[in-house]
Structure 1
């Protein structure tokens, strides 16, 4: 069976990232601000609302992976679960920003937390089997990078469109609660379209490798834990997800309180993500010449350099701050591409060693870590705000923040992400899986 996929098949698969990228972006960018500055929820409580539903995903994702490994249907193992998520996530996302009038503080926090919990569940149902598919659609080392290049290109475009467009939709809806309601409905609809295209594109694709789970979930998780290269890649990725999500959570606060204009949220986001659209193909060329691991390290260094500049937000000229954000965005492109191109390699290595393909369990653990990282980022930023004495407010009411809160915003936006990127570098250096080592595993007696 051919390991090659057509361009239309790659684009169809990649369309699912419109929904996953949008859902990963908008809550991280706007949900904390929506809670503290529109619904009057205190910063610490808002941080918990952002964190706890995502923490549920950390528990749920490995189960979804195991369940999908064992699923049989005329569309294969993955599509039925993707369909569940494609329905649940968009509806719950729209409801999350449709808090009934009059709700504030504790009542508003409970409404948003409940809707976010349902949306996070839908995200798990779609994302876990979706990420499992590349390891099953091709066993070619370079073809996985090509497939991921298309996916990351559309993912990055989605992140840019939703990151820049969601604040614009809020403004177009008149700001305040009405604006957030409009944004929730429009974004939820777009999520549904992206999910639908991916399902239609992959429901009849043949699989080169088929999942062959054995034992209970505990046994499968132990097998995942014993995969050294997966552990290393997973740890580095989660640390970096924590760093990027912390920076994203701070953008709206930097725009309003340090740059003096809410509209700068969109500018900051575009400066971070726009370079990635152009540079993902460049990172692919780099990987072909120097390897995926080297590309991942250099991308991390670039984000680190940009984050150092971001730590001085409000103290350096705006143009210089935007240059720093763009440098971070250059690294961000590679940080999106390389982990997801390397993940199927670790899954194939496990299959070659054990004779069993457990894509769903591996991607369940992976997305659990991704979810945790992107949930803890806004939570950490909220805790930095709380320590800095940030004053929450409600829609239409402005307050003067103390200098300690302004300092906390800058540190959470740049210094903390820089520290996390620095921490991930020695972890990443321990990754050793290459195309040659995979070929050696495949040549061993008893390999799949």
Structure 2
């Protein structure tokens, strides 16, 4: 597959993004969506409640994979920024990650029989870390393309809206389909999510979706390679110390630090929620697989609501205000069922009104959180030019790798918190629904609700330090355009008469 580069004039004026390119770019997020829901919601549940491994061992293994993957991410981001190939900086990683990620994801769910708990924990760690590192190389490369696909302040939010919509389709569409098919109730397993045989189809379908989404994203955006920013040329080959210094300079950006601090607390809360939700849904509200499938659809509804609203809210309120406002209001709405249940003021398991009420609450909560996430991601894209004004480098890969680093570490903290809460609540492994007592559930709620709310509120407070407005972004672009024009003028002055410009 060859790529023809345009001349410099054309490179500065790329054609508008086609609908097909936008859809292909967004569809790539399905891969991460499948991995997210599988690892965040089902991995802990599968090994703890289906295989029968203690929560402490499973949560420790999962958390360790996240921490190690997090330290790989900055190196991956730097690698994408420094790559030079006929396919540019990003696409070699997109294509190269597809097959390994699909393979590693599949084998996570097939632990060899006869292993001890410790050996199973090692299996979880090895297979999970291989999956995470593989998909991180894809995610970092694709997210780093956003500032290169468009410089427009509002169009970036639209692209992230589309990406988040496909992310939610991957997460919740995949989960809903599996709950309705692979996790259907049987006579032996009325709660299909407890059936070990159900995870065969779950693993194979997830693997196929991951591979397909990655390839579609790569092929659908391949035509944009001529207009994507290429590696900055250097007079001398950078040393390890040079790499570290430049990464450090990028990470000192105030706007990035505000997003990073918010993200640490935000993704810790999201990791805690993802690992805990299935416990509440199964043991507090008593939902079976078909009901869980329906509730999963509310997240798709939420994403469909959030995708068009996020750009409008960012245009009306600003990206920072939208991210803060919708995060706080959204988490309060999402916690209401647990708070009311703790005081015996909510619908009990089996009530005919429980499912539709939970669906509506989930859709509203999900839409608000999605709007916050979309705007925060778009804010990070704007940091690239803000940093370039000071450093004279476009380090998109580094910033999005750092964001991935933050997400992985924070999600690890959330999963560790889930393991701690389960231990404090004396919640046993491989327990039957009828054996779960009310004090166990109340203890889970009492520890979970204030932790989750506190993480979101304190995290939002850090966004007050984010300084980039639309006006500042436009000013940054003007400065960078002026520098490019000045560099081209110098290049023209230095060329012999009649020599071609390169």
* TM-score band w.r.t. shorter chain: over 0.9
Q: Secondary structure at the match of 2:53?
A: coil
CA distance in 2 between partners of 1:2 and 1:246 (Å): 45
Task: State whether structure 2 residue 350 is matched by structure 1 residue 350.
Answer: no
Q: Report the Cα offset of residue 429 of structure 1.
A: 1.7
Q: Does 2:201 correspond to 1:182?
A: yes
* 1:328 aligned residue: 365
Tell me which moved more, 435-444 or 249-258: 435-444
- Calculate the TM-score normalised by the size of structure 1: 0.92
Match of 1:302 among 320, 324, 329: 329
1:207 to 218, 223, 227: 227
Equivalent runs, 1:50-199 vs 2, <5 Å: 50-103=62-115, 105-172=117-184, 175=192, 176-199=195-218
Match of 1:47 in 2: 59
Q: Distance in 2 between matches of 1:444 and 1:308?
A: 45
Find the counterpart in structure 1 of residue 424 from structure 2. 387
Deviation at residue 402 of structure 1 after TM alignment: 4.5
- Paired position in structure 2 for 1:409: 444
- Distance in 2, matches of 1:442 and 1:240, equals 29
> Would you say the 8 A contact 1:348–1:357 is kept in 2?
yes
Residue 199 of structure 1 and its aligned partner are, at CA, apart by: 0.9
Secondary structure class of the residue paired with 2:414: helix
- Residue 372 of structure 1 deviates from its aligned partner by 1.9
Higher mean C-alpha deviation, range 349-358 or range 32-41: 349-358
Matched, 1:12 2:21: no
Q: Which residue is 1:374 aligned to? A: 411
131-140 vs 269-278, which moves further: 269-278
Instruction: Tell me the CA shift for residue 408 of structure 1.
Output: 3.5
Once residues 340 and 203 of structure 2 are traced to their aligned partners in structure 1, the CA distance between those partners, rounded to angstroms, is 29
Unaligned stretches of 5+ residues in structure 2: 1-11, 187-191, 348-353, 485-502
* Per-residue deviation, 1:320: 4.7
- Paired positions, count: 446
1-side partners of 2:184 and 2:385: how far apart?
Answer: 47
Cα contact 2:272–2:415 (8 A) shared by 1: yes
8 Å contact kept, 2:323–2:373: no
Report SS of the residue matched to 2:435: coil
* Counterpart check, 1:219 vs 2:245: yes
* Post-superposition CA distance 1:273-298 (Å, at most 9, x none): 52222232022212222221121122
Residues 21 and 158, structure 1, Cα contact 8 Å, conserved in 2:
yes
* Deviation digits for residues 52-83 of structure 1 (CA, Å, limit 9, x no counterpart): 11111110000011111111111111111122
CA distance in 1, matches of 2:447, 2:201: 29
Contact 1:247 1:412 in 2 (8 A): no
Q: 2:375 aligns with which of 338, 361, 369?
A: 338
Separation in 2 of the partners of 1:173 and 1:298? 40
CA distance in 1, matches of 2:387, 2:141: 18
Unaligned runs of 5+ in 1: none
CA distance in 1, matches of 2:34, 2:296: 13
- Per the TM alignment, residue 15 of structure 1 is displaced from its structure 2 partner at its CA by 1.2
CA distance in 1, matches of 2:86, 2:366: 41
Between 15-24 and 268-277, report the one with greater CA deviation.
268-277
> Are 1:418 and 2:453 counterparts?
yes
- Work out whether residues 160 and 274 of structure 1, in 8 Å CA contact, stay in contact via their aligned partners in 2: no
TM score, norm. by length of structure 2: 0.83
Q: Which moved more, 1:19-28 or 1:148-157?
A: 148-157
RMSD over aligned CA atoms reads 2.3
Determine which structure has more spread, i.e. the larger CA radius of gyration. 2
Change (3 A) 1:440 1:149: same
Partner in structure 2 of residue 278 of structure 1: 305
| Residue 242 (1) aligns with residue 279 (2) | no
- Specify the SS of the correspondent of 2:454: helix
Residue 232 of structure 1, CA deviation: 0.5
